[in-house]
Structure formats: structure tokens, C-alpha cells
Amino acid sequence: MTPLVSPALPAALDEAAHRCLVAGFAGTTTVPDDLKALIERGLGGVILFTRNIRDADQVRELTGTLRGLRPDLLIGIDNEGGGIGHLVTAGAPEVPGNFALGVVDDPALTAACADALAAHLASLGISASYAPVADLQHRGENPIVRTRAFGSDPEVVARHLRAWISATEARGVASCAKHFPGHGGTVTDSHYELAVDPRAAGELDLAPFRAAIEAGVPMLMSAHVVFPALDAELPATLSPYVIGELLRGELGFDGVLVSDALEMKAIADRYGEAAGARLALGAGADQVIVAVPELETTLACRDAVLGALREGSLSEGRVWEAAGRVRRLAERYAVPVVPGESGAGDVGLAAARRAVSKGELAAGVEGAYVVDLFPRPHPALNWGGESLVSAVREVDPSAAGVVVAGEPEDGEGLVDEVLKSAAGRPLVVATCDGELYPWQGWVREGLVAARPDAVVVATGLPGVGDEGAVLSYGRGRVNLRAAAEVVVGAQIDTAPRP
């Protein structure tokens, strides 16, 4: 018996379906054969990660090779600043995270930082930046937004979004405000499980997204978050109401709506990546991101979309509409434009210095022993080993210290060892997001109880227990450097901030 063969879709529709995909891949110089085949059939975009980056010349060669396969291929990357980026080895400008910029509240400074990042992307041939974060940081328990947000005030966030988007646009790079309609009201990280925002519809954080749309942002990224006030069951990425009625209808957005990565457990564990791709496009998304380097996952998503088109569960009209938006985006941004060099210089460090607060620190210390406590780095961060210890030693080579990345097995032993090592020296104790990670609080308490003269630093989102601490409002390299200067006394004249 001859097996049944699914009929091929018309070539133009097949190409349109491929435009709705953004694929991650492995490698720094060679384009995998499966990726070449996807690009030749119309793949809409690729997303780069640290695994694809060696140095600037290599990235230019890679983006040139990719664009040589298809000139209208969008090449994107997460490039938020503040330690969330993948281009450190390619010479990326160091800028503080959004929260520090919101603390300074100088939109011109935010624009300068965004310009530096976008100019660098354009120089590498990267045409899309999955930034800025438009979420508001509401809850101390939120594990994922935090210092990635410009703040909790929608007006502050809106004006910094406008500055960021305009600066990026001027460089011919596509920006992407995320995560619609907001991830700041959750207490769950959607990388690990489905998140829920239980607030009423009138309490949701739409104002920053309205501002981004008014500023002409060409892309929005959806959140893998359920908003029961909008859709009782489906996360925003898969919700026809959230994308169709709210985003397209009420907010009037006609740019590209791209999903957050489908392999995040909020989608993958409940629906599977392939079903997630089909459902997201059916709900109104224009592109779906499959960020994992294993291309078989992307191919499975592609096959699910093509299969749904064949059987009629995904309408051709919906795919034509999505592909049309992606095509218009590519016509505008696929080849980035660099109108002259960025004049930013060390604007990122200048911004971090303006943000840092010295708290109750009256004078800097020399030859300190620094203990830097922080949670194990999130997979979304491109952590390069930077720490407050290394930052202080750059300013004061006589300093020493210990880095503790993640809860220690023997906390009491750590306290005893630090006290011994710090004997006869000033002691500096730094925590990061201690509200979320109580172990940091009791290690700090143990150290400060024995050494009430200790200088206390908070490198994450300030919270309970951080009163009077030196505040950096982030753990990007320039945030840590600015905090180190305050601790040592090189930048002690920095104005205190509320």
C-alpha cells in the first residue's frame, strides 16, 4: 500500500510560513545545512547568542554570510545592556541596565546609551534588537523583571522607552518593546513555569506599551503570562483576545508581534514548542522565536505550521497577514544603516556613576576585603565572571575578597572564613536581590553583627534590608565599577538618591 503523502503547499504560501519563524543555531562561522535550507525557503530571521559570538570581525563575517543567503533575512539579538547581552567579546559598549537609567531619569542619557548599543549592532550587521524592556517593576517577589525595567512609574518608563526607541530607529536598527502586556505583576519567571498576573484589567501595565507604539516601535514581544482578566486560560502569546482585540484593536499596533522563545517552560511544558508555534500564529503573532540551537526543534515548529495550513486549522489569510508584516519590517531594517560613528564614548560608565547612591557611606575604604553575594546567574544573562570583587580591585589593587554565586553549602563556615580573611581590613558585604534569596540576608547579618563597621552594598533591586546601603541598581560591569569607585572613595562625591 502506498503511504499517503501530504500535498505540497504553493511555493509562495510555503515561503510566507517560513517568514513567520526566527531560529537560533549553533556555530560562529559555518551556517548549518538545515539552517541554509530554512533560509532558502524564506526563513524570516535568526537570533544570535553568546554561542555565535567570538569577536567583531567574526560576527561581521557571519552576518554577511547569512545575508548572502537571503538579503532580507532579519538578524536579531537580545541587547538590553546592564549585563544582558551577548556581544562582550565583540566589543559591545558597556551600559547600565534600565533601572539605573530610570533612577537618573535623563532621557537624553538613555538615548545616548541606546545609540551606543544600536551603532555597535549596525556595525556588526545585526538588524534587530530585542529591547527595550517595557515592563513595570511592581513586586519585590518578581524574579525576572527587576532592574531590567526602567522603574515602576509608568510615566518614567514611557519617556525612557521613547528615548530608547527613537535612538535605535535613527541607527536603522529595529527595536522591540517587551513583554506585552507586561511581566512586572507576576511572581514567577516564565522561563521556568507559566506565570499569572491576577490583577484586574484596569490595573494592567498598558501605558508603557501605548507609549512605545506611539514612538513608532516596529516590534513588540509577547509575554508567556496568563492574565485572567483578559483570557482565563491562555497565556498572552497564545491568546487571540490579547493579541487581536487588545493589541491590534484597542492599541492599534500594526507592527510585528513576535513571541518570546517557545522553548521557555511556560509554553514548552504545557503545549510543546510545535503546538506553541501553531497556536501563537493562529492567535495573531507574526513571528515565533525558537532560540535553542538544535534545529530539529525549529523544524518541528515549522512542520506543525505547515501541517496546520494543509488541514485548515491555521488559515492562509492569517499567515499571509503575518508574513506581510514581517516583509515590511525586513524591507525597512534587514540591512542596518549607520549614520556616522557613535559619539557615546564612555557614556555607559557616566550613566552608572550618576545612578549609584552612596547611602550612609561617609568615606571610602582602602585595602578592603569584599564578599560579593549574588544568586546563580540566570540563563538569560551573559555572565562573564564580573563581580564587585574584581571591580574594587580594578580601582584599588590592594583589595581582596571572595565571590559567592549561589547559596553556599556551609553558610556559617563562609561567615567564619570571611571574618578571618577580613581581620585587620575594612569589610565590604554586597548582596543582590536579598528579598528573593534569604540566604544572602542571614550571611550579611552574620557578618555585620561581628563587624558593625562593614560597608554594605546592594547590587540588585533595592529592597527590605538595603536601607543605608551603597546602591548600584544593577550588576552590569559599569554598575559594579561605579559602586566600586564609591566604596573605595574615588567617586565619593556622587549625590545620594532616594
Q: Are 90 and 124 in contact (CB under 8 A)?
A: yes
* CA–CA gap between residue 337 and residue 342 (Å, rounded): 12
- Nearest-Å Rg of the Cα atoms of the chain is 23
Q: Are 263 and 280 in contact (CB under 8 A)?
A: no
SS3 28: coil
Nearest to 251 by CA among 224, 211, 221, 279: 211
The C-alpha cell that represents 202 in the structure block: 484596569
Q: Which residues are catalytic?
A: 191, 260
* CA–CA gap between residue 303 and residue 320 (Å, rounded): 17
SS3 305: helix
The C-alpha cell that represents 102 in the structure block: 530610570
CA 234 to chain CA centroid, nearest Å: 23
Q: Strand 84-85 relative to strand 79-81: parallel, antiparallel, unpaired? A: antiparallel
Residue 31, number of CB atoms within 10 A of its CB: 16
The C-alpha cell that represents 66 in the structure block: 547569512
Nearest to 142 by CA among 201, 223, 210: 223
